[in-house]
Amino acid sequence: MGNLIWHEWSRYVSLTATVYTLWAAFWGILYRKFFWDFVGGTLRAPGGLQPADNVAFFIDIIVKAPVVQILIMLHAFALLALEFPAPFLKGTGIYRSIPLRIVMLFGQAFLAVLFYQGTNGTIYSLTAAIGYTRALMLGEEMKEAKDHRGRGGKA
């Protein structure tokens, strides 16, 4: 009972979204598809959906070379390191920054919405970002964990 600590809940959503996106990006490299190719695209049988010419740029960076997918994988690893957190980030100012997470989650959402497998990753990332925004609005702070708490013999 009591009050929900929004940034703690958001962390779980963020971790879910990030792991989902990571997995999606991996499959996105194997099965490359620009999510928005239906806009102006034509369906041919056989051959599938032929994207319109004016989205050629996105076809280049998603289908011809999986630039977006690799980018988002790196991004997701970085976010994962921040959220989990990785040992070298623990206790640093970056680790305690909620705004940084919001920015990164929005970045992740934007990148994920570009490729076919990423849409749910976008939705979950935005959910986490909303949660963190709520945490900011409520003035929540990520406090530095108190040392020596509950660690027998080290106090």
Binding residues vs other proteins (CB under 8 A):
1-5, 8-9, 12-13, 16-17, 23-24, 27, 31, 33, 38, 43-49, 116-117, 119-120, 123-124, 127
Report, in Å, the least distance between residue 134 CB and other proteins.
12
Report, in Å, the least distance between residue 48 CB and other proteins.
4
Q: Concatenate the DSSP letters of all residues of the chain into one string.
A: -----HHHHHHHHHHHHHHHHHHHHHHHHHS--BGGGGTT-EEETTTEEE--GGGHHHHIIIIIS-HHHHHHHHHHHHHHHHHTT-TTTTTSTTTT-HHHHHHHHHHHHHHHTTBGGGHHHHHHHHHHHHHHHHHHHTT---PPPPTTTT-TTT-
Residue nearer to other proteins on the CB measure, 45 or 93: 45
Report, in Å, the least distance between residue 93 CB and other proteins.
23
Residue nearer to other proteins on the CB measure, 10 or 111: 10
